[in-house]
A and B are shown apart, each in its own frame.
Chain A
Amino acid sequence: MSTPTNEEIFAKICELLIPYNPKNKIITMQSGIVTDLEVDSTAVFDLIMGIEDFYDISIPMELVSDIKTIGELVSAVKRLISEG
């Protein structure tokens, strides 16, 4: 797979976030995953797993703890895909 753009990864994450965003909060690159979007810690890991399966990457747990915003998640995914 060629490395997707930030915009493509962002769009995919928004799609995967739907089940965890029942209040339909507006998602931006600056949105805090737990703080703004109110995704609980278990759900964050479920979301991560969906991203991992889609892009065929593994995002180690210790990396997930450092990701606070959607923008940081997009960057981490892009980096892992390119390291693929």
Chain B
Amino acid sequence: MDIFDKFSTLKSRSDIVKKLGVDPFGVKFDKITHATRGMIGNREIVLAGTNNYLGLTFDPDCMDASIEAIKKHGTGTTGSRIANGSYEEHIDLENALAKHTGMKSAIIFSTGFQTNLTAIATLAGPDDVLFIDADSHACIVDGARLSAASTIRFRHNSPENLDKRLSRQGEIENGIALVVIEGLYSMFGDKAPIKDFVKVCKKHGAYLFVDEAHSYGIYGSTGCGLAEEEGVLDQVDFISGTFSKSLASIGGFCLSKHEGFEITRKAMRAYMFTASPTPSNVASARAALEKIKSRPELRENLIARAEQIHKGLSDLGFELCADPSPIIAVRRPNEVIAATEWNWLMENGVYVNLAVPPGTPQSSSLLRISLSAAHTKEDIHIILGKFAQMQEKSDALIAKAMEVIAAQ
């Protein structure tokens, strides 16, 4: 028995995809030249799969803030905040995030995944019951698995189904119910009806945790996310998010309207025993937060581009998984066809994401586009043009995919 035998099915799938050309899960860019452009050798690629929603990775103020922070504090923090202390920038960013959202407590983390993983695992104790959306991100599922709480999944984006499950659960002896949803779902780009979830949670006295990783900085009148857009930000108990999308850095945050949240800093193991975010990451995230507050036109452009590409792809006859949002998921018949098409797009200068089961809802195979405020109308024309050409070559691409499958 080999230690890697358990990965044999995954390996066969991976080998098929590799036979189609470049490995979609191992792309190497030689240089990123702009929020929407990368180079592979001498070829310029239009980036349409980066989660760089506000296009701030090359913003001069964010870059300067990062460089200054390195000069001031060095490249790394080399330890956790509990054991090795905080930098003033950590605390300043926490205060700024709390102030922006009107929350009472804020804790930042080294990655977004780690944020949900440890916050959920810690907030839900052994006598509590977690209710998570059926299409939850892996970090929520893993947080639930790591927690000592019993976990029940409810139908995706269905407050009615949650209501039914909370009713079925009845009173929880010595414990609470914690409901976890996302604002904008990362694969299909569909939005949660947060206002309705708030109502159901109130009815049952459940706490509500909303992951706004893909919606913070993008929705709401001041960019606080979808809970703000729906007018219920002050009624959500916990908001989590990431620095790696609209904030163009890496790290994560969890905010709460409860002052009591502060104590969990001394209980969340992935906070206590991980090196804190680097000075440069925190500084650029802080600078990006100022852009979210001062440049609403970034959000406006992003939404306009989302509508443009959604209409363009619909007109071409592609099946899209949700209404317009910065995430546009194009449903394909199976993963081999999707991977063949992904390769064709890449060869022809457009980078999107290939998303396949089990990482996708309904076992879907997707060409996933994520847009940026830095995309121009012309960029969208280029992307749409390539999708149209790809569609014209559909028969040849499907034949190629079938050949690879048949050779297995």
A15 within 8 A of B: no
B175 within 8 A of A: no
Residue-wise interface mask of A (55-73) relative to B, using a CB-CB cutoff of 8 A (1 in contact, 0 not) = 0111011100100000000
In contact, B169 and A58 (Cβ under 8 angstroms): yes
Shortest Cβ gap from A38 to chain B (Å):
9
Shortest Cβ gap from A41 to chain B (Å):
5
Shortest Cβ gap from A14 to chain B (Å):
19
What separation, in Å, do the CA atoms of A38 and B145 have in the docked complex?
23
Name the one of B141, B168, B169, B362 contacting A56, with C-beta atoms under 8 angstroms: B168
Nearest chain B residue, comparing its CB with the CB of A56: B168
- The interface size bin for chain B is 10 to 19
What separation, in Å, do the CA atoms of A9 and B151 have in the docked complex?
23
The main secondary structure of chain A at its interface with chain B is: helix
Residue-wise interface mask of B (142-157) relative to A, using a CB-CB cutoff of 8 A (1 in contact, 0 not) = 0011000011110100
Question: Which residues of B are found within 8 Å of A65, using beta-carbon distances?
Answer: 145
What separation, in Å, do the CA atoms of A53 and B161 have in the docked complex?
9
In contact, B145 and A61 (Cβ under 8 angstroms): yes
What separation, in Å, do the CA atoms of A60 and B283 have in the docked complex?
42
- Known contacts A58-B168, A58-B169; A49/B153 CB under 8 A: yes
- Known contacts A40-B358, A46-B362; A61/B144 CB under 8 A: yes
What separation, in Å, do the CA atoms of A26 and B151 have in the docked complex?
31
Question: Which residues of A are found within 8 Å of B165, using beta-carbon distances?
Answer: 58
B134 within 8 A of A: yes
Residues 23 to 80 of chain A near chain B (Cβ within 8 Å): 40-43, 45-46, 48-49, 53, 56-58, 60-62, 65
B360 within 8 A of A: yes
Question: Which residues of A are found within 8 Å of B152, using beta-carbon distances?
Answer: 58, 60-61
How many chain A residues touch B (CB < 8 A): the figure is 16
Question: Which residues of A are found within 8 Å of B153, using beta-carbon distances?
Answer: 45, 48-49, 61
In contact, A41 and B358 (Cβ under 8 angstroms): yes
B314 within 8 A of A: no
In contact, B155 and A42 (Cβ under 8 angstroms): no
What separation, in Å, do the CA atoms of A60 and B147 have in the docked complex?
13
What separation, in Å, do the CA atoms of A59 and B358 have in the docked complex?
20
**Candidate in A48, A49, A65 with the most chain B CB atoms within 10 angstroms:** A49
Residues 116 to 155 of chain B near chain A (Cβ within 8 Å): 132, 134, 141, 144-145, 150-153, 155
Name the one of A45, A53, A62 contacting B150, with C-beta atoms under 8 angstroms: A62
What separation, in Å, do the CA atoms of A70 and B169 have in the docked complex?
25
In contact, A43 and B363 (Cβ under 8 angstroms): yes
What separation, in Å, do the CA atoms of A1 and B155 have in the docked complex?
23
B361 within 8 A of A: yes
Name the one of A40, A49, A53, A60 contacting B363, with C-beta atoms under 8 angstroms: A40
**What are 23 pairs between A and B in contact, CB < 8 Å?**
A40-B363, A42-B357, A42-B361, A42-B362, A43-B357, A43-B358, A43-B363, A45-B134, A45-B153, A46-B134, A46-B362, A56-B168, A58-B152, A58-B165, A58-B169, A60-B152, A61-B144, A61-B152, A61-B153, A62-B145, A62-B150, A62-B151, A65-B145
Residues of A at under 8 Å CB distance from B? 40-43, 45-46, 48-49, 53, 56-58, 60-62, 65
The 9 nearest A-B residue pairs measured at CB: A61-B151, A42-B358, A60-B150, A58-B152, A41-B358, A40-B358, A40-B357, A43-B363, A58-B168
Residues of B at under 8 Å CB distance from A? 132, 134, 141, 144-145, 150-153, 155, 165, 168-169, 357-358, 360-363
**Known contacts A42-B358, A53-B155, A58-B168, then 4 further A-B pairs from the complex at CB < 8 Å, ordered by chain A residue:** A49-B134, A60-B150, A61-B145, A62-B150
